Amino acid sequence: MCAHVGHQDMFQNAVEFMKLEKVEYAGIKGRMLSAQTVAIFDEFNETYKAFQDVTYDALDPQDTVTAHYIFF
């Protein structure tokens, strides 16, 4: 049960990070903040891609995902 909650948190965080793709800031500082947001989103995408390439079911609590979960 505890591992399931950890996976749930991980995927909820992923959903929140995916929202960064749509964020834009206006104004003079907005350009700088938008660039930083894009950099964070790109870094997240690179890390999250590791989960897209796995061959096991990440939602199955019986599968071993600990190494990937810790990396993420």
* Distance from C-alpha of 21 to C-alpha of 40, rounded to nearest angstrom: 10
Domain hosting residue 67, numbered range: 2-71
- Classify 27 in phi/psi space as left (phi over 0), alpha (psi -120 to 50) or beta: left
Q: How many domains does the chain have?
A: 1
The model's pTM: 0.60
Q: Using 50, 70 and 90 to split pLDDT, how confident is the model at 2?
A: very low
- Return the closest-CA partner of residue 58 out of 47, 46, 49, 68: 68
Quick: pLDDT tens for 16-54: 888 888 888 999 899 999 999 999 999 999 888 877 777
